[in-house]
Amino acid sequence: MIYKRAVFAALLAYTALVAGGDVDKLALFVGDAEATAQLSPAASEVPPLYVFYVNHTHLSEDTLPYTDPSLQQLDTHVSQNLNDTLLALADVLDRHGLPADWQVVYGMAQGLCSDQGTQNVFQQLLARGHEVGLHVHNFNTDYERALRAMHDVCGISPQVISGLVLARSSNQMAQEIQQAKQDGMDLGVIGMSASHFMQPCGQQIGTGNDMWAQTGNLLFPWQPEYVGAQPDVCTDDPNGDFSLIDHVGMTAWTGAKGNRQADLLTDADFDRLRARFDAALDYMAQNKPTHVAAWGFVTHPHEFMAGGSRGEQGPDQSALDALDRFLTYVDQKVAEGLVVYATPSQINQDVLAQQTNSPYAQWPNTLLLSSLRTQGSRFAKLLVWIPVSTGMTSVVCPRLPSQSLMRCFA
């Protein structure tokens, strides 16, 4: 324990020096049992909830920003509006330390990447610590086009896919998972709790997922049984190699399903989303689950773009401000040690580590770029790789005050 705290103190001191922070304020909480005792009961007893954000990166038609189905006529005005909106969204997310999962359809991938070249917006998002994957509405017709555009035009090999929930049956979803797995993907981000699968699954998906009516999603990720003669994507396979992570469906908080959402997002929308988020925190406090729990939400670019759902105009500041205010509320829970921001892939790393009974599978233990903050001093992002030999658990502690940050290494 002494060695762990010594290493942690050195890391914090280095971070503070690099960013011009206050080392004394950081040192106050290092190796100090009395300071550790200052942790609130909530922070010390309730396991943190992973929170993630997914952007289904498409407009009202998957071919946009092209004006024709054959993807020959690129509307550069729409392309620029999309580029500006995605970066404006990323600016809001980055201020809060929330890395997004951008799930891109075939037209968007080919259009923006061919228009912008090697420095395309998706490469920029990756460089900023976000992740980029695929989104498909019709697996048979869209998947290969999206994968080829992402790989060949954008220069990205995706590891995450969304849109699997649009499969008509468990067998069809299993086949789609097998194809995605073959192409290097090991994670699906999905709106299962708001889908037609709930009835054939008997309202039970994975293990222990009985909270979805209140939280809006299935908090516990699972590995579906997608191989064999009778696959069952509702059932958790502890030995599985492909994970599904559920997010809140848009109908639950905007009243409009998926890409039918045409209006700009408002504070009223995010107030409804906040109720789902609060319900997830209540579940964590009441049940104190011992396995990884994750809560996330999804939007599209056009809900932050003025003028309609075809990219007619660029980012709308009022919608961005509404998102910013919602995340400011979530930040309060981060500061209390109740929430950890992460991408779905980072969450999945912890899910798989926990299932292998690794000694380092305590939550939260994903390695990521953390934006450290203490007592009003904000620190630059620093990638901290903690060697296993130190006996320390790698952690996700974005934007936590030093009290909560200390907890991650205790």
pLDDT in tens, the chain (410 residues): 333 444 444 454 444 444 444 433 333 333 334 433 444 544 558 999 999 999 999 999 999 999 999 999 999 999 999 999 999 999 999 999 999 999 999 999 999 999 999 999 999 999 999 999 999 999 999 999 999 999 999 999 999 999 998 888 899 999 999 999 999 999 999 998 878 887 778 777 998 999 999 999 999 999 999 998 889 999 999 889 999 999 999 988 998 766 555 689 999 999 999 999 999 999 999 999 998 999 999 999 999 999 889 999 999 999 999 999 999 999 999 999 999 999 999 999 998 887 765 444 444 444 333 333 322 323 333 333 233 333 333 344 443 333 333 334 43
| Cβ 32 vs Cβ 1: under 8 Å | no
In angstroms, what CA-CA distances link 252 with 35, 258, 309, 370?
41, 11, 20, 31
339: number of CA atoms within 13 Å, CB side?
23
| Cβ 180 vs Cβ 188: under 8 Å | yes
Answer yes or no: do 186 and 247 share one domain. Answer: yes
CA distance 314 to 89: 11
CA distance 237 to 406: 35
Answer yes or no: do 271 and 293 share one domain. Answer: yes
Answer yes or no: do 401 and 311 share one domain. Answer: no
The total number of structural domains that make up the chain: 2
Tell me whether strands 131-135 and 369-374 are parallel, antiparallel or unpaired.
unpaired
The CATH number of residue 246's host domain is 3.20.20.370
Answer yes or no: do 25 and 57 share one domain. Answer: no
H-state helical runs in 205-255:
212-215, 251-254
Answer yes or no: do 64 and 170 share one domain. Answer: yes
Place of tokens 């979805």: 212
Sequence length of the chain is: 410
Answer yes or no: do 34 and 54 share one domain. Answer: no
Answer yes or no: do 289 and 393 share one domain. Answer: no
* Single-letter amino acid code for the residue at 69: P
φ/ψ of 252, rounded to 5, equals: -65, -20
H-state helical runs in 183-316:
212-215, 251-254, 267-287
Q: Is residue 356 part of a domain?
A: no
Q: Is residue 355 part of a domain?
A: no
Q: Is residue 205 part of a domain?
A: yes
Q: Is residue 287 part of a domain?
A: yes
Last residue of a domain, one of 312, 346, 380: 346
| Cβ 91 vs Cβ 129: under 8 Å | no
CA distance 238 to 225: 9
Predicted confidence at residue 342, as pLDDT, reads 97
What the block records as the tokens of 82 is 């999309």
Number of DSSP helices (H) and strands (E) in the chain, helices first: 15, 12
Predicted confidence at residue 307, as pLDDT, reads 86
Answer yes or no: do 405 and 320 share one domain. Answer: no
Answer yes or no: do 143 and 263 share one domain. Answer: yes
Residue-range definition of the domain harbouring residue 379: 2-38+367-409
Answer yes or no: do 20 and 62 share one domain. Answer: no
Answer yes or no: do 296 and 371 share one domain. Answer: no
Q: Is 332 exposed, middle or buried (0-12, 13-18, 19+ CB in 10 A)?
A: exposed
| Cβ 168 vs Cβ 231: under 8 Å | no
CA angle, 218 then 223 then 225, to 5°: 115
Predicted confidence at residue 291, as pLDDT, reads 87
Q: Is residue 173 part of a domain?
A: yes
CA distance 75 to 134: 22
| Cβ 74 vs Cβ 122: under 8 Å | no
CA distance 397 to 50: 11
Predicted confidence at residue 356, as pLDDT, reads 67
Classified as helix, coil or strand, 379 is strand
In angstroms, what CA-CA distances link 15 with 47, 128, 252?
26, 18, 41
CA distance 95 to 334: 13
Predicted confidence at residue 312, as pLDDT, reads 93
Global confidence as pTM: 0.81
Tell me, rounded to whole angstroms, the distance of Cα 373 from its chain centroid. Answer: 21
Q: Is residue 102 part of a domain?
A: yes
Q: Is residue 20 part of a domain?
A: yes
Answer yes or no: do 24 and 55 share one domain. Answer: no
Closest CA to 20 of 382, 383, 378, 404: 378
CA distance 78 to 82: 6
| Cβ 96 vs Cβ 320: under 8 Å | no
H-state helical runs in 37-132:
41-45, 76-96, 106-116, 121-127
Other Cβ atoms within 10 Å of 292 Cβ, number: 27
> Who's near 146: CB < 8 A, 6+ residues apart?
104, 105, 106, 109, 134, 135, 136
